[in-house]
Structure 1
Amino acid sequence: MPSKNLLVKDLNELYDLMGISHETIDQSSGFSILYLQDVFKEYPVTSIPYRPNFFSFLFIKDAFGNYTIDDLSFPMVPGTVYFTNPSNFRKFEWHNITDTCLVVFTESYLKEQVHQDIYREFSFLLTETVEPRVLKPDQFAIIEELYQFIYREYQGDSPYKSKIIGSAMVTLLLKIKEYFFQAYNPIYEGNRSSQIVKTFKQNLEQHFRDLANGKTDTQLRVQDYADKQFLHVNYLSSVITSKTGKPITAWIADKTIAEAKVMLQDKQMNIKEIAGRLGFLEASHFSNYFKKHTSQSPADYRKQYPLNRQ
């Protein structure tokens, strides 16, 4: 049995490890939407313990099961909406599925297709554990219309497919915010370690926002993030790793690459300028770093986006 430290990079990898067929799932864009009744044919279905490297929404119109997030377990019943963010421990068990839609996406996708400053409008995406909500029938019906529309566009071949889905995701996130998080306070967290993780994520996001806006040109070290919370660096590192299954250095690297991909789509910025914006003293250091984490050079990645971002 895989350990709780198993980090799953995408849905394809999870289903591979579970021995489940997934020919129709393509997460190359960082986004995928599917109906689970088309994936799971025999019940019960029990997942391996894993830590996802992606966000997900689960819209349960008609299904039953159980879902575990860290040490909390929740029932999956009709009319429920689940939201999960990267790296917390997960495990699910399905007893029956008649109609359930799953939407998964990465941070890079959000910043490339939805909005570069995604966490300012949707701060709830940074939260550690969100309890599932059973929506009123009229509320679920509105959510269902949105994810059905996204699914149809995802299956289609419109030349504006990515932009249409990105715009629809804004609407979906706003409705989720309306139904779940109108009174959400991103600072509040009852558990001390969860608060430390949450504050680290907020500090990480704010620092990269400052880098992108030219307010600073210096990358923060792990020690700097510890100092911001008045913690010993070893303690901060231990909390982040044990709580999320991923060390701080990996969080910083993932964030750097996500921001770099967004900037590389803007042809008005040359690679040297992007390197400087992200705190690299030399463009060559940035290029080597980017290639190490993506297996592509910044120039090769940029070739995928022939038009300037507007």
Structure 2
Amino acid sequence: MDALNVSFENILNTKDASAEAFGDDVIVYTIKNTDEQQPLDASMPSIRIDAVTFILCKYGDISFTVDYKNYRLTKGMMLSLSKLHILDDIHMGKNFEGYGLIFSEKFIMSIVEEIQIIKKLTTSSRTSPLLMLENDNMQLITDIIGHIKRGIKASDHICQKELIKNEVSNFILEIANITYKTRYKNENDAYKEDSKDNIIQNFIMLILGHCKEQHEVSFYAKELCITPGHLSRVLNAFSGKSAMKWISDALISEAKILLRKPGTNIQQISEELHFGEQSSFSKFFKKHTGITPIEYRNKILESQPI
């Protein structure tokens, strides 16, 4: 199975006791690490979830890599992910507690398709997915999550679907309001942010689609109709990484995905990633990870089944 794409149905079929679900549209996880001494690392391949996902930290901390950028959530921080994001390297700190909310895309679109400002904020969250909630907003959001959970349990309610949709609508509207007030202080800020967001968003779309065969910054800059220098400055300001580092990280992520798949040898992976010679790919991989592709594959085989 392709380790990269996880459907809403996959998650629904593998949800554990901590999850509450409504039909094919809503899953709410209560996430806890009750060990006071040990953090938890989730050994998993890089994935894209074909759904709209929110991760909220109530206590402690949790970190992961999203689109090759590291994020660490502490109390009051929320991460919003679309199906375009790549998620990897989950690390849950001791005493972490939070929520994970996963909504099918069709369910969310039935709520937001008529509201233009939410469409705009949904687009910007692809490039700036992290949101900090003040105490009053944190309480508001956790209260709404509680309402969603109670709606899921109210199976005898004659309007259960409408009840849940109403609470999810409240959740989305409040997140949109907090996001707008946090990111846009005035219209000029909004204009400048939109310009940068468009470059970053389009670059991410390009890199997700072309990083296997296009390894040079000049290709992406040309597609975006800007100079390589301008592209790197925008990306550095956004993530602290140059365009070349983004490309390298994307290639490493794709390489790790391929190395986890059975039935592929190193030469085939090298060719799929357009390195030509296996030695060039192996040298590149070791430079960026500290180990060879063979060593990485053996490490994965030892730790978990592929």
**DSSP 3-state at the match of 1:33:** strand
Aligned-residue RMSD, C-alpha: 3.9
Percent identity over paired residues = 12
Deviation at 1:73, TM superposition (A): 0.6
Letter in 2 for 1:171: N
Residue deviations 1:102-157 (CA, integer Å, cap 9, x gap): 11112211234x25435554422233222422322122111111111111111221
Runs of at least 5 residues in structure 2 that lack an aligned partner in the other structure: 185-189, 207-222, 226-246, 255-306
* Letter aligned with residue 189 of structure 1: K
SS of alignment partner, residue 96 of structure 1: coil
TM normalised by structure 2 equals 0.54
Match of 1:32 among 23, 27, 34: 27
How far apart, CA to CA, are the structure 2 residues paired with 1:163 and 1:38? 33
What's 2:158 paired with? 159
Q: Which of the residues 4, 10, 13 maps onto 1:6? A: 4
SS of equivalent to 2:54: strand
Quick one: which of 43, 49, 54 aligns to 1:52? 49
**Are 1:64 and 2:71 counterparts?**
no
Consecutive unaligned residues in structure 1, runs of 5 or more = 200-228, 232-238, 246-310
After superposition, the Cα gap between the structure-2 partners of 1:149 and 1:129, relative to the gap in structure 1 and judged at 3 Å, is same
1:194 aligns with 2:194: no
Q: Which is further off, 85-94 or 20-29?
A: 20-29
Q: Which has the larger radius of gyration?
A: 2
Which AA in structure 2 matches 1:172?
F
In the alignment, does 2:166 pair up with 1:170? no
Change (3 A) 1:151 1:188: farther
Q: Retained in 2: the 8 A contact 1:122–1:173? A: no
DSSP 3-state at the match of 2:60: strand
Cα offset, 1:53, TM superposition: 0.7
Matches within 5 A, 1:241-256: none
2:105 is equivalent to residue 107 of structure 1: yes
For residue 36 of structure 1, give the secondary structure of its aligned residue in structure 2. strand
Q: 1:34·1:151 contact (CA, 8 Å) conserved in 2? A: no
Instruction: Tell me: CA distance 1:69–1:23, structure 2 relative to 1, closer, same or farther (3 Å).
Output: closer
| Count of equivalent residues | 200
Q: Distance in 1 between matches of 2:173 and 2:27?
A: 19
CA–CA separation in structure 1 for the residues paired with 2:18 and 2:143: 26
1:197–1:144 CA distance, 2 compared to 1 (3 A): same
Q: Which SS does the other structure have where 2:136 is aligned?
A: helix
